[in-house]
């Protein structure tokens, strides 16, 4: 394989970018970001409490978190192409398992409960595995291999596919999920899952034909190239040094809390707004507008990183997170415009759990241990998802609304924004000192 990949034209990187875009479009856009559309219809039809159903999210996120801990070792052993194909196949298995879960009957026995929950929980594990191997972490690694300049902008364009797909699903797939429209004469959440599985199998075919491992000549050495420029690669610290940096651990905590807040809010937005406004058309319109804006904000975030650096870009994201979550928590039924504004602003926050993770890892700690740090950060972020999703729905089961937990998340993001700015200032000082010493030793 290596002999073949060395002959690939450098321009082939754009084919690789297109393959990553298509994979994210289907994998993240339909398998992950559409989860909120399924929450109410699935729990209602299967006669499940939301807290019990949301355990599948815990399983999913725990699986992703554990897999990402070993990302660096796995990608070296299996290669990017094989991992991406296996990841997409895992997602297809997940969708099919979701589609066969039987309804929990009234007066259900323990065996009835097991029969209903077993395929749901198993699908959560397949979903976590698939997303770990073919979405954010992998795209960050692949882009780092094929693109040594404008990494942020390329990542932004690729991950914007998630927003594009979500916009389509909220207006096209949602009517199928809730039974208001049909495709090929079929409707319901089960058929929606099966439809997604068929799209995933088409992605596997495309990856088999077009995806290639990065050739050696496509990977320029990071050392000595643009070390002082923002948004550029630099040689970086050894892992032994990274593990001694106090701001590594503070960043990890901030990433955990951010993942817990943002993913929890995203997963319950539809259910929350439906409860507040009792207007399905308005809610799906809000989600569609948000998803379209998300396409642009991911590109904006990558471009902002390349132009203005990490600190300013992440501050924009954190402020957007705090404003949008608090606005969503407090919105009254008489102010639908506030809900729309809050959700639009939320689009500027969501890159914190996708494109920003590999950029934070590369910018703060450099290229030497980039796969390991990135894998850890994505794992920690996903662990936040695992805690936040059931916590949010358990609070809902107790309070019968999402306002309380959303308010807590909003205040938490204000604290994270302040702490992370201090943290990034300390990291930048260390980077500048390291590069000064590195350049001096090279003279």
Contacts with 104 (C-beta within 8 Å, 6 or more apart), sequence order? 46, 47, 48, 112, 113, 116
pLDDT over threshold 60, residue 225: no
pLDDT tens digits along 165-181: 877 777 788 888 888 87
pLDDT tens digits along 301-357: 888 988 888 999 999 999 999 999 999 999 888 888 898 999 999 999 999 988 899
Q: Would you put residue 8 in left (φ > 0), alpha (ψ -120 to 50) or beta? A: beta
pLDDT over threshold 60, residue 44: yes
The residue among 59 and 232 whose pLDDT is bigger is: 59
Least confident of 25-29, 170-174, 257-261, 395-399: 170-174
CA angle 314, 393, 277 (to 5 degrees): 85
Contacts with 114 (C-beta within 8 Å, 6 or more apart), sequence order? none
* pTM summary value: 0.74
Q: In the chain, what's the furthest Cα-to-Cα distance?
A: 78
The residue among 136 and 16 whose pLDDT is bigger is: 16
Question: Distance between CA atoms of 348 and 133, rounded to whole angstroms?
Answer: 25
pLDDT over threshold 70, residue 2: no
pLDDT tens digits along 255-279: 999 999 998 888 888 888 888 888 8
Residues counted in the chain: 443
pLDDT tens digits along 112-151: 888 889 999 999 999 999 998 999 889 988 988 888 777 7
Q: Average pLDDT, stretch 359-374? A: 88
pLDDT band of 216, cuts 50, 70, 90: low
Q: How many CB atoms lie within 10 A of CB 229?
A: 12
């Amino acid at each position: 394989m290596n002999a073949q990949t060395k002959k690939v034209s450098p321009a082939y990187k754009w084919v690789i970018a297109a393959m990553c875009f298509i994979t994210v479009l289907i994998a993240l856009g339909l398998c992950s970001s559409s989860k909120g559309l399924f929450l109410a219809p699935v729990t209602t039809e299967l006669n499940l409490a939301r807290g019990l159903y949301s355990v599948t999210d815990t399983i999913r996120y725990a699986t992703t978190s554990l897999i990402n801990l070993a990302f660096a070792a796995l990608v070296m052993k299996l290669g990017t192409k094989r991992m991406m194909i296996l990841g997409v196949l895992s997602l297809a298995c997940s969708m099919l398992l979701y589609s066969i879960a039987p309804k929990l009957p009234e007066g259900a026995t323990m065996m009835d409960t097991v029969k209903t929950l077993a395929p749901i929980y198993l699908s959560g594990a397949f979903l976590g595995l698939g997303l770990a191997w073919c979405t954010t972490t992998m795209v960050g690694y692949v882009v780092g291999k094929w693109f040594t300049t404008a990494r942020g902008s390329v990542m932004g364009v690729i991950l914007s596919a998630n927003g594009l797909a979500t916009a389509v699903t909220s207006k096209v797939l949602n009517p199928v999920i809730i039974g208001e429209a049909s495709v090929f004469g079929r409707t319901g959440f089960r058929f929606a899952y099966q439809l997604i599985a068929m799209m995933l199998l088409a992605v596997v075919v495309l990856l088999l034909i077009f995806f290639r491992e990065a050739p050696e000549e496509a990977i320029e050495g990071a050392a000595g190239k643009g070390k002082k420029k923002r948004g550029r690669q630099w040689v970086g610290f050894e892992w032994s040094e990274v593990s001694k940096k106090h701001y590594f651990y503070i960043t990890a905590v901030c990433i955990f809390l951010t993942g817990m807040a943002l993913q929890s809010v995203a997963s319950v937005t539809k259910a929350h707004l439906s409860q507040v406004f009792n207007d399905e058309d308005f809610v799906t319109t809000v989600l569609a507008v948000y998803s379209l804006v998300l396409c642009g904000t991911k590109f904006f975030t990558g471009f902002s990183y390349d132009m203005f650096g990490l600190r300013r870009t992440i501050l924009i994201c954190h402020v957007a997170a705090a404003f949008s979550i608090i606005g969503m928590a407090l919105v009254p039924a008489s102010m639908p415009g506030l809900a729309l504004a809050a959700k639009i602003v939320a689009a500027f926050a969501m890159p914190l759990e996708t494109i920003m993770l590999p950029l934070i890892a590369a910018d703060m700690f450099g290229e030497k241990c980039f796969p390991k740090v990135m894998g850890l950060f994505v794992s920690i972020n996903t662990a936040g998802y695992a805690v936040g999703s059931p916590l949010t729905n358990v609070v809902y089961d107790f309070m019968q609304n999402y306002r309380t937990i959303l308010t807590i998340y909003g205040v938490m993001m204000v604290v994270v924004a302040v702490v992370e700015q201090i943290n990034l200032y300390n990291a930048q000082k260390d980077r500048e000192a390291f590069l000064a010493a590195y350049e001096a030793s090279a003279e």
